[in-house]
Amino acid sequence: QQQVKQSPQSLIVQKGGISIINCAYENTAFDYFPWYQQFPGKGPALLIAIRPDVSEKKEGRFTISFNKSAKQFSLHIMDSQPGDSATYFCAAYSSSNTGKLIFGQGTTLQVKP
């Protein structure tokens, strides 16, 4: 019930294309859904996050779509660039669970020039 399932494991997209990464969860107590971006040799860093009271959040080329009834959320990267090549993790958090942050399995994105 604490799991967050992420797909695909890897993704190759041409420059200018749209990258889409999907996540699903079971625990309805989750109330904060962040996405983290990790470059090689670095720790993950927060990219964008959403709370379940909205269905979409956009920051520049990055958009989270959230479907509360389906318990799914996804990251869309518009106009993907080679600099977006990284590993992306979705995560979920429950404010009733003393700050425990649960991560998905990760998606390695490669954007080809």
* Residues β-bridged to residue 73: 23, 66
CA-CA-CA-CA torsion sign (39, 93, 52, 91): positive
Does residue 105 belong to the site contacting other proteins (CB under 8 A)? Answer: yes
Does residue 8 belong to the site contacting other proteins (CB under 8 A)? Answer: no
Does residue 12 belong to the site contacting other proteins (CB under 8 A)? Answer: no
Q: Cβ closer to other proteins: 78 or 101?
A: 101
| # residues contacting other proteins (CB under 8 A) | 25
């318990």: which residue's tokens? 71
Burial of 4 (0-12, 13-18, 19+ CB in 10 A): buried
Single out the residue of 49, 61, 85, 110 in contact with other proteins (rule: CB under 8 A): 49
Interface residues toward other proteins, by CB under 8 A: 2, 6, 9, 32, 34, 36, 41-46, 49, 89, 93, 95, 98-106
